[in-house]
Structure 1
Amino acid sequence: MGASLDDLVSMTVFARVVEANSFSGAAARLGLSKSAVSTRITALERRLGVQLLQRTTRRLSLTHEGARLYERCVHLLSVADEASDLLGHVGTIPEGTVRVAAPVGLSLHPLVSVLEKFAERYPRVQVELSVSDRQVDMLAEGFDVAMRLRPHPHERTLIERRLGTERTAICGAPSYFARRAPPQTPHDLTQHNCLRMKGSKWVFRGQGGPPILVPLSGTLVADDIAVVREAALEGMGLARLPRSLIDADLREGRLLTVLDAYVPDVFPITLVYPQRKHLPHRVRVFIDFVTEHFRKVFRGG
């Protein structure tokens, strides 16, 4: 007996759970509740008479039967995505929601201006923006696109597109330097109050030698780059911040840089998205638009 329409729907839900490696991620991508996704998977397992997923409190894993079914569902998803993409091109007007994750630094500048231009070009596309300096799990959390301001370990399941390069600076407010002499070498930072992002390391370019990694201490460690910037502006200590975020502060003298000769020149700004043969039209135009505009801003993507 062939598969019913209900079976095909359940198999699609199952495949999305495998891709996202979570019920909540699949639910977000499908526009369903987590309980609806769980009910679908349970009903499919009952219908087939086998367990497809091993569930624990921390992760999901495929059973042998689940892996075999997923191999067959890949083609089904490809055809469904192609049909969805075709429908998305009807009238050549993209519409729908694009879920985007971005770090705080880019959300402050220049992402907002790019999104404004995108909304003017594609008024039927709604951008749902989540701003956080943590590294999101795109598949598990159901994001279409993520932008990254700092290098991250390579993720084989994601396609990476380079948008440009960014520079950083070690900086502090004039009020801070009125109390403390500016550092002359990276090693002098051990005597300063260093305001840091959670998990960050300050690596410096050695003068003709290997890179320099300095052990730092300070009274603030945050997961929001905007908080670190504000603390630096208030004269609390020294911070390492993206140039694009503090350009106006530097021009107007609210922040001053130090150790410029030791700070590595650039690091990449990237945009990542899941590997899919057929991206929805709204996601494709968003990726192309953001790539074009960021490369103009940062030059050299």
Structure 2
Amino acid sequence: MGASLDDLVAMTVFARVVEANSFSGAAARLGISKSAVSTRITALERRLGVRLLQRTTRRLSITHEGARLYERCAHLLSVADEASDLLGHVGTLPEGTVRVAAPVGVALHPLASMLKEFAERYPRVQVDLSVSDRQVDLLAEGFDVALRILAHPQERSLIERRLGTERLLICGAPDYFARHTPPRVPHDLVHHNVLRMKNSKWLFRMEEGPVIVPTSGTLVVDDIAVLREAALEGVGLARLPRSLVDVDLREGRLRTVLDAYAPEALVISLVYLQRKHLPHRVRVFIDFMTEHFRKLFRGE
């Protein structure tokens, strides 16, 4: 049996208690009494048959079961807040500046083409785009939104929208392979000129589990566009995002090797600060990018 209306209300109260870290703080935010908050939490715990919060006269802490439930409740409330905020902007035209951070590979493709369509749809919104493979601090540096390619979820202080997955491929130009025998197993890379990003490690899936293979080469860079160009010129092998080299692969300018040992796909996410009432210009940017990236990864 699905959740009842009472369950949804109780889960809302529970999430607000966790966020406020107090019953009184949640009560003030919800506009109800502290006793009503306590009653809802007790009823929810009884309904689920688990303790969600440990409370004493001085301290409130969340249990393991409570933390698992909160993750789902927080998502539910985020969607509800977005819907409420959207209703408040019906009929208004967004305007102003949206500060966005994106990795180089994503900015080159496919973000650049999407921004053209976004500008046509929202001509009064200016996108201030910072392109860097450095992971920015949204709050400290004043960014509204960031696109990221990571193996693991973001910190809980951010809202994350997963847009799709990205695979990293080891690529080389036909000219390079004319001079070097393609590697058959990851450890063959010791005989190759490996071009890489700064502080990167080449991880492979082997029979014994994930293995980092030591590599060396004549180029270490902090710009993935430069890395791609070096690979195209036949300088050496490079590990590059599939979306960045898709056309190069189709047209034969690059070839891949060691695909059977590729690590798990990375997640492309759009992240923003966990706050209520996002400005309309930021909301429409988030919704537009979410829609278009997901269409791209579905192949539409």
The aligned residue for residue 248 of structure 1 is 247
Is the 8 Å Cα contact of residues 101 and 145 (structure 2) preserved in structure 1? yes
Distance in 2 between residues matched to 1:188 and 1:296, nearest whole Å: 38
Is the 8 Å Cα contact of residues 154 and 160 (structure 2) preserved in structure 1? no
The aligned residue for residue 50 of structure 1 is none
CA distances 1:94-123 after superposition (whole Å, capped 9, x unpaired): 111000000110111110111111111111
Distance in 2 between residues matched to 1:199 and 1:217, nearest whole Å: 12
Distance in 2 between residues matched to 1:157 and 1:265, nearest whole Å: 25
**Percent of counterpart pairs with the same letter?**
77
SS at match of 1:205: strand
Is the 8 Å Cα contact of residues 152 and 267 (structure 2) preserved in structure 1? no
The aligned residue for residue 280 of structure 2 is 281
The aligned residue for residue 66 of structure 1 is none
Distance in 1 between residues matched to 2:294 and 2:194, nearest whole Å: 32
Within 5 Å, give how 1:132-143 maps onto structure 2.
132-143=132-143
- Cα deviation, residue 163, structure 1: 0.6
In structure 2, relative to structure 1, the CA distance for the partners of 1:252 and 1:166 (3 Å cut) is same
With the length of structure 2 as denominator, give the TM-score of the two structures.
0.68
Q: What letter matches 2:106 in structure 1?
A: L
Q: What letter matches 2:285 in structure 1?
A: F
Distance in 2 between residues matched to 1:161 and 1:90, nearest whole Å: 23
- Cα deviation, residue 151, structure 1: 3.4
Within 5 Å, give how 1:172-187 maps onto structure 2.
172-187=172-187
Bigger drift between 120-129 and 257-266 goes to 257-266
The aligned residue for residue 109 of structure 1 is 109
The aligned residue for residue 235 of structure 1 is 234
SS at match of 2:285: helix
What's the RMSD between the two structures over aligned residues?
A: 2.1
Distance in 2 between residues matched to 1:273 and 1:151, nearest whole Å: 18
Distance in 2 between residues matched to 1:211 and 1:299, nearest whole Å: 28
Q: Which runs of 5+ in 1 are unaligned?
A: 1-84
Q: Which runs of 5+ in 2 are unaligned?
A: 1-84
Distance in 1 between residues matched to 2:261 and 2:143, nearest whole Å: 37
CA distances 1:106-161 after superposition (whole Å, capped 9, x unpaired): 11111011111111111111111111111111111100000012336732321111
Within 5 Å, give how 1:17-166 maps onto structure 2.
89=89, 91-151=91-151, 154-166=154-166
Distance in 2 between residues matched to 1:107 and 1:233, nearest whole Å: 19
CA distances 1:154-193 after superposition (whole Å, capped 9, x unpaired): 3232111101011221010111111111000001112211
Q: What letter matches 2:225 in structure 1?
A: A
